Amino acid sequence: MGILAHRLAVVSAMIAAATAAQKTVNCPYATLPREVQGIRVWDDLLCSPESLWANDFCVVDKTCTQMQNVTTYDAVGNISRSKHSESITISRTLTVGWDLDMSIMDLSKFILPNTTKTLKFYGIANLCLPSTFEWPETITTIQFACVSNITVPPLWPSTLEELTLYNATDGAVPATYPSTLTITLHEVSNITLPRTFPNAIKGLYFREVESQPWPKVLPKTLTELSIINCSNFPAYKTFPPTLDFLNLVNTSTAELNLDGLSILLLMDNANLTRLRLSMRQPTRPLLHGVFMTNMNIHSWTMDGDTFFFVNTASTSDFQNSTITVDASECIQNKGTIAQLADRDKHLGGRIFTVCVTTQRHYRTRATDGLVAAGGSLFGLAGCAVLVVRWKKTRKQTRTASRRSDFMNESQENSLQAYTPKTALWRSDSSFELSQPMSPSAPSVSWSLVVDEQDAPSAPLRSPTQGPLNPLNPIDGIATKADNGAFVGVSPAPKDQLALEMAPTQEDDPRGCILCVDGPQNAVCVPCGHNVLCMNCAEYLLQ
């Protein structure tokens, strides 16, 4: 019996050894380099149900044997059976706080499921996707963050919509973008980007990108553009009429000619001295705010609508800047020199002057409500003074984090809400709004009068929201689909209408209060003069 037992043990050992040898031969990872210790896979035959449930993968060695209680890896293998639509490959040297130390990752055996829509690589040195690598058929988003020596197949997937190269150094990328691309974010060095952008592109974000062959003309579909520390960025004088968001930091741009913009951020642009801003596009979004830091503007020309919204936008902010106007140029443009309501709070209340060339043209829903309320109550109480006061309530909205990530911290701090005190715009002399606004027109001195005190005062604005927290690199390049991929920004407050009766004033033809068709205040006085502008009068007579 002892001899038989011994022989059975020997045979069992031989069978086990043969099985292990056969398993090694059949394992597709047996030929990986010596430094590869663990391979990330998704295989219900190789992985325990617990690891697939907890991590959506398991780590095996080069014999396809699962490594127990191990979640770090040096290579990625076949994960084509994964049910997730997002794949994230992270360096094994990932440290607490999302500070990425790059390490080598073998991707020669990398196979993705065709259902993958988002593909992300973080903290990988010598990132190489072999020419045989197949992009998933449904992929729309690709992100590279903190990577070096990039090598990818010669063509991007034809379904790609968003491409991010964040803190990427050295390497080569395809010479053309796919026609489906709508958003691209770049912070690269020693990587040559394609010369042209596809016709569908809507968002371009570049930071610290040097020596690139920029296009002579920006895409006609562009809605968002952010350029930070790109010294060779072309000095475009005009931008696409579709542009809604523009952020320029430390560029060589000398002049801007903008129409229909919603948000404008300018910082440390030493050459930029001339600015023209217009809102003459009824179908475009309304102006939400203008932010300037360390700017020296010698000539800022705007139309009446822009002047109104810059003065009333609760999010506009000007810091350590000089804004003046060229008087002779303003006269040539048949404009009027006007003073902005905002002042530089960091340089002793320095005032800002601009050239306003035209009257206001557009009415908003808030405007219509204001005028209608004034018209319906015009004959009450012997045409007593009616004060229509707009009370502001904050309504928080969310903006894509890609904007915040490609802003400097001081710019993020500027994007916060301000609450103006209730006040009335009043003209110190009679002034017909139908007159052309030119230096030859009657002189008008505008002041802001707070009805509680009935005394002139400059606009007082106070922050109501603290600065936004800067995003870390990973959050900063998150997509809309990711949780937490947005940062909160409070835009212009939502208007709420309230009516109050104010004491009757004596008739004073020199102190007619003109209606201002916007979210400020409106007053009717029994002075015997027409206190309605033509736009308001035409609206009420319809």
Q: What confidence tens digit (pLDDT) does each residue in 511-530 have?
A: 333 444 433 333 333 333 33
Q: What is the pLDDT of residues 266-304, one digit of tens each?
A: 999 999 999 998 876 666 667 888 999 999 999 999 988
Q: Calculate Rg over the CA atoms of the chain.
A: 32
Q: How confident is the model at residue 9 (pLDDT cuts 50, 70, 90)?
A: low
Q: Does the residue 459 lie in any domain?
A: yes
Residue 506 lies in a domain: yes
* Cα–Cα nearest to 307, from 333, 274, 341: 341
Q: Which residues pair with 463 in a beta bridge?
A: 418
Classify residue 500: in a domain, yes or no: yes
**34-68 b/e with 16+ CB inside 10 Å = b?**
eebbbbbbbbeebbeeebbeeebbbbbbbebebbe
From residue 72, alpha-carbon distances to 76, 105, 202, 528 in Å are 11, 11, 38, 82
307 within some domain: no
Mean pLDDT of the chain: 69
Report whether 479 contacts 405 (CB < 8 A). Answer: no
Q: How many domains does the chain have?
A: 1
pLDDT of residue 306: 86
Amino acid at 432: E
Residue 425 domain-assigned (yes or no): yes
Q: What is the pLDDT of residues 322-341, one digit of tens each?
A: 998 888 889 888 889 988 87
Strand partners, 494: 393
For residue 374, tell me if it sits in a domain: yes
Give the N- to C-terminal CA distance of the chain in Å, as an integer: 113
Tell me if 513 is assigned to some domain. Answer: yes
Three-state SS at 501: strand
Q: Which of 527, 536, 301 minimizes the C-alpha distance to 429?
A: 527
> pLDDT digits over 179-218, tens only?
999 999 999 988 888 888 888 899 999 999 876 778 788 8
498 pLDDT band (50/70/90 cuts)?
very low
Dihedral angle sign, alpha carbons of residues 270, 272, 273, 275: negative
Three-class SS state of 196:
coil
Q: Is residue 515 part of a domain?
A: yes
Range of the domain at 531: 365-395+418-463+493-540
* Chain segment 229-240, per-residue pLDDT in tens: 987 888 887 788
